[in-house]
Amino acid sequence: MRRDILLIYMKLDFLRWLGHASFILTLNGKNVYIDPFNIESAREHADFILITHPHMDHLSPDDIKKVASSNTVVFVPKDSIDKVPVGKVIPVEPNKHYSVDGIEFDTVPAYNHVENRVHFHPKESGWVGYILDINGTKVYHAGDTDFINEMKKIVTGLALLPMGGTYVMNVDEMIEASHSIKAEKVAPMHYRRLLGKEGSAAAEKKFLENVKNGIILKEEGEPKYSF
């Protein structure tokens, strides 16, 4: 079986891709959402929510209200605190370690430096990616970012990297980043809404051909891609 077909439907038991840059992870029986967006109304309750930055496809008040309650702990960059509609809000900033109520993670800067998109995610905004330890496996969610020097220091089990272009890395830049990060597995995110079905399939194929530890996660609620 061809490698790209073998891996195109890979699903991990501790992590589910809800679409775009949105994920739910299971940590010691607790539900951890990252950037919940465009999700179903009937979903598991969020014990924790991690927000990378305030753009509407990452910090969606309507989606937060679907899964959160007053007991949900929401981690969010400092400039976005007032956008969170519900929960116990804790501000975060890059290059910090956090340990709150049974969850531990490190924050990593997330920003653009490529000239034609630097204004989308300025470094001075203090937006973040997250590195979590999920039941013994480290997971790096990069947020919206270019390939930045800070990635070269990252050691993780799974790296989730954006590759949609326009606002984040394109597929070639994402491949370069994948080679730089010390990760057991690398999976793309934040591209299907931007590239469409044909563009996404082409990007996935190029990614898998050039990243030997690359995988494609199964996206919930989406039809399987055929090649």
How high is the pLDDT of residue 173? 97
Measured CA to CA, the distance from residue 14 to residue 2 in angstroms comes to 26
> Which among 101, 46, 108, 118 has a CA at the least distance from the CA of 77?
108
Measured CA to CA, the distance from residue 140 to residue 151 in angstroms comes to 10
CA end-to-end span of the chain: 13
Measured CA to CA, the distance from residue 22 to residue 39 in angstroms comes to 8
Measured CA to CA, the distance from residue 202 to residue 84 in angstroms comes to 36
Q: Identify residue 220 by its one-letter amino acid code.
A: E
Within 10 A of 117 (CB to CB), how many other CB atoms are there?
Answer: 16
pTM of the predicted structure, to 2 decimals: 0.91
Over range 117-126, report the average pLDDT.
93
Measured CA to CA, the distance from residue 182 to residue 91 in angstroms comes to 28
8 A C-beta contact, residue 191 and residue 167:
no
Over range 129-133, report the average pLDDT.
96
* Buried/exposed code over 196-225 (b: 16+ C-beta within 10 A; e: otherwise): eeeebbebbbbbbeebeebbbbebeeeeeb
pLDDT in tens, 201-220: 999 999 999 999 999 998 87
How many residues would you count in the chain? Answer: 227
How high is the pLDDT of residue 30? 92
Q: Where are the domains of the chain?
A: 3-210
How high is the pLDDT of residue 108? 97
pLDDT at 33 over 90: yes
8 A C-beta contact, residue 15 and residue 25:
yes
Q: Identify residue 86 by its one-letter amino acid code.
A: V
SS3 106: strand
How high is the pLDDT of residue 200? 92
Q: Which CATH architecture has domain 3-210?
A: 4-Layer Sandwich (3.60)
Average pLDDT of every residue of the chain? 90
Over range 176-204, report the average pLDDT.
94
> Which among 21, 134, 35 has a CA at the least distance from the CA of 75?
35
